[in-house]
Structure 1
Amino acid sequence: MGTGTLVGDLRLVDLTKRFGAVTAVDDLTLTVAQGSFFALLGASGSGKTTTLRMIAGLEEPTAGQVLLGAEDVTRLRPYRRPVNTVFQSYALFPHLDVAENVAFGLRRRGVRHLRPQVERMLALVQLDGYGRRRPAELSGGQQQRVALARALINQPQVLLLDEPLGALDLRLRRQMQGELKRIQTEVGTTFVHVTHDQEEAMTMADTVAVMNAGRIEQVGAPADLYEFPATVFVATFLGQSNLLAAEAAGPTRGEVAVTAHGARFTVPVARARADRGPVHLGVRPEKLRLAASADEVPDGHQHVAGVVADAAYVGVSTQYQVHTGAGGELSVFAANNGTEGRHAVGSSVVAYWRPEHAFLLPRVPGEAERSSTVRDEPVAVSR
């Protein structure tokens, strides 16, 4: 988007919201670039929905500002803001047909000659010919499209989406992910999408902000967050990670030497969020490979020996839990591509990886190791 603040950038400055003694959003500063698809990702209670409601004007901040370009909209009533919201419940009017639902906002503003605009919006969401149907005659995915068309016909500067796909089944949810991204690209409106679903955020958004306890843990492109997490929370919430307790000796010649499980490893300086003292040596499960012995480990790789404690075949991969000699546990996702053999439970193995696939994070002294224990596929990263 270039440098500087664009006319239509959405900016949150020192935004705070307290409910009594509870701080839901804590001194949040964030810029959403004009025309971007931006995701606020976090678990329940992270503050993401409260943030969205303050942008919409449905909650008044305790402190801070909401700005659209140069305009401070912090104290404006919701209907005075160039912002529309699509909720999880859709909130369609059951007594109105699809066309009238879509036209509702324009009709209230006294706009005439609505039909061409309504038809254009229905075509955008691929509901041509559905104008005379009632909401009850539509599927969940179709109702979601109507809600989207009703919001977009008002030409908002920012469209807010509050868990919009949460009520859909898995197949429809994945279909609508692609549709939402297509529509956003076509209309060029700024989308701010609130979700707890990692896959939704990673596959649709240009930029993702990971929220935790009312604060932003990390902001960036999906691939950057996944490949190089900034905190333990991001590493374990966004996908799955193996985090080995290690000690770092400091950077030397472009790499950081660390000791873990009685062995020495190295990590590129560019992939180290901490380079001295207690650290987590992190490796994603899909970046690990298994061999029967250290003799089979390719040159240039680093490894840890262990025993297979569990193996689960899940179609595209086999997911292993490996107990290491130091008492830790590693998760390994081995692709079922026909190039690697299977490893039986109880067999001795060596887990190995390339140094450039590892990362270092700060570790509180005494903090335990962490590994992925949920059987699931790695998060999809579309960019």
Structure 2
Amino acid sequence: MTLARSGSTAPESLQGPAAVEASVAPALEVHQVSLNYGAHQVLHQVSLSVAAGHTTAIVGPSGSGKTSLLRVIAGFLRPDSGEVALHGKQVTKTAAHRRSIGLVSQDGALFPHLSVGRNIAFGLPRRQRTAAAVSDLLDLVSLPAEYARRRPDQLSGGQRQRVSLARAMARQPDIILLDEPFSALDAGLRERTRKAVQKVLRSTGTTALLVTHDQDEALSFAQSVAVLQGGRVQQMGAPERVYQYPVNVATAEFLGEAVVLSATVTAPHRAACVLGEVTLRQAAAEGRAQLLLRPEQLMVVPAREENLGQVLDADYFGHDTTALIRIHGSGETVRVRQLNSAPLRIGDAVGLEVTGTGVAFPG
């Protein structure tokens, strides 16, 4: 049983709700899809593209339309307008069971009355439902062959998700849809399972679409990230691109902790704020602006009059402390992340310096 697929190169990063331009043909294309639940519009002309052999994450807050979009792609819902194509073939009106799509859900959705082996075999064509084929699939997801005799309730949460992935991959679908598959796992198991699934997908060249509300998961798991808010794709591109070059403040704040300061753009690549002059990583129009930085860019240094601040709150996390600091003379507050070689305490007087570059939005 051969599961390997041809490799491909990473898609070029893009901004905005545009399809990813890739050097390989897309496995999945969603074009101008809109969906209504009665009078409520859930998806607004959503377009995205997933390159063959790549993993894309759709990330967004609860109610943003992520699961509805996944159900449209899977064929469980028919859009009010727009099209869905797999490898260039229109499947918008094709029944779900006739689409070459595998699905891994949040709880794994294994049949509780069947053994692990029979659960996996269920995903195979009848003529291929052999012990050897099941063993190959278990090996693919790094589970011993003897697990085939176990029942789902004898597995850990992470093992159940691996079995669910093995079943979904059994038919070698055109694309695997992952619907928040790690959200029910505890933090340590979640990370290990995510890495195991990521390894399987990349080693086999399987095209995958992950839906998640976890920003860290989306940025670390996928080769491309689409940010969905209010049923619209706000931005799509490589993880580092959408994190470092967000299209607006709302997208920046969703993708991670953000420090937003009042500023004045004094030159295309320079802005002045309460923390001093900051270099901009992309040109901005001169005038009033909102300056975006990340907490990890703010360094605590010995206090001086020009950068004096006071710690208002501090959360200790062992490896680091996140602190809220009020900047003297401005009333503005910023959140910083400081390694615990020098822990911060409420009431401390500190100085702040900016490292790296920022992004300015019209203010």
Q: Fold-level match, TM-score > 0.5?
A: yes
Corresponding position of 2:225: 208
1:348-367 superposed matches below 5 A:
348-354=349-355, 356-363=356-363
* 2:209 aligned partner: 192
Q: What residue is the counterpart of 2:301 in the other structure?
A: 291
CA shift at 1:88, angstroms? Answer: 0.9
The one of 110, 118, 121 equivalent to 1:92 is 110
- Taking a change above 3 Å as real, the CA distance of residues 294 and 136 of structure 1, as seen in their structure-2 partners, is same
Deviates more, 1:150-159 or 1:197-206: 197-206
Q: Does 1:306 align with 2:319?
A: no
Equivalences for residues 200-279 of structure 1 within 5 A: 200-251=217-268, 255-256=269-270, 258-261=271-274, 265-268=277-280, 270-272=281-283, 274-279=284-289
How far residue 248 of structure 1 moved from its aligned partner, in angstroms, is 2.4
Whether 1:141 aligns to 2:167 is no
- Counterparts of 1:292 and 1:344, CA distance in 2: 14
Matched letter for residue 277 of structure 2: F
Corresponding residue for residue 370 of structure 1: none
Distance 1:201 1:264 in 2: 33
CA shift for structure 1 position 176? 0.5
Deviations 1:340-360 (A, max 9, x none): x45543333221113x43221
Query: Contact (CA 8 Å) 1:94, 1:135: kept in 2 or not?
Result: yes
Unaligned ranges ≥5, structure 2: 1-8, 12-20
For the 8 Å contact 1:163–1:194, the answer to whether it is kept is: yes
Residues 231-284 of structure 1: CA deviation (Å, up to 9, x unaligned): 112211111011002232452xxx23x3434x762423x434x42333211111
Secondary structure of the 1:154 match is coil
Deviation at 1:229? Answer: 2.1
Q: Is the 8 A contact 1:246 1:278 kept in 2?
A: yes
Cα pair 1:85 1:162 within 8 Å, conserved: yes
* Displacement after TM superposition at 1:70 (Å): 1.7
- Cα distance in 1, alignment partners of residues 27 and 113 from structure 2: 37
CA shift digits 1:315-354 (9 cap, x unpaired): 1112221112211101111112x3xx45543333221113
1:27-57 deviations in Å (ceiling 9; x for gaps): 1111111111110011110111111111100
TM-score normalised per structure 1: 0.84
For 2:134, the aligned partner's letter is: V
Give the TM-score taking structure 2 as reference length.
0.88
Q: How many angstroms does 1:19 deviate by?
A: 1.1
Question: Any conservation in 2 of the 1:267–1:360 contact (CA below 8 Å)?
Answer: no
Work out the CA distance in 1 between the residues paired with 2:276 and 2:199.
47
| Residue 83 to residue 60, structure 1, CA distance change in 2 (3 Å) | same
* Alignment counterpart, residue 333 of structure 1, candidates 337, 352, 356: 337
d(CA) in 2 for partners of 1:105, 1:314: 43
Work out whether residues 59 and 214 of structure 2, in 8 Å CA contact, stay in contact via their aligned partners in 1: yes
- Going from structure 1 to structure 2, the CA distance change for 1:304 and 1:209 (only over 3 Å counts) comes to farther
**Contact 1:177–1:203 at 8 Å: present in 2 too?**
no
Q: In structure 2, the residue corresponding to 1:271 is in which secondary structure?
A: coil
Identity between Structure 1 and Structure 2 (%): 37
Contact kept? 1:105, 1:150, Cα under 8 Å: yes
Paired residue type of 1:310 = D
Distance 2:70 2:54 in 1: 16
Q: Quote the residue 2:17 is aligned against.
A: none
Unaligned runs of 5+ in 1: 296-302, 364-383
Secondary structure, in 3 states, of the residue corresponding to 1:60? coil
User: 1:124-203 to 2 correspondence within 5 Å?
Assistant: 124-128=140-144, 129-203=146-220
Q: Is 1:32 the equivalent of 2:50?
A: yes
2:325 matches 1:322? yes
Contact 1:165 1:173 in 2 (8 A): yes
Per mean C-alpha deviation after superposition, the further-off stretch among 111-120 and 212-221 is 111-120
SS in 2 for 1:28: strand
CA distance in 1, matches of 2:253, 2:22: 33
* Alignment CA distance shift 1:96-1:259 (3 Å): same
CA distance in 2, matches of 1:32, 1:271: 27
Output the amino acid matched with 1:134: R
Tell whether the 8 Å contact from 2:53 to 2:207 is kept in structure 1 after alignment: yes
Task: Name the residue aligned to 1:369.
Answer: none
**Partner residue of 2:88 out of 70, 81, 90:** 70
- Are residues 1:17 and 2:17 paired? no
- Count of residue correspondences: 343
Shift in alpha-carbon separation, 1:342–1:114, aligned structure 2, 3 A:
closer
The CA distance in 2 between the partners of 1:283 and 1:8, in whole Å, is 34
Q: Which amino acid aligns with 1:361?
A: F
Aligned partners of 1:167, 1:322: CA distance in 2, in Å?
A: 35
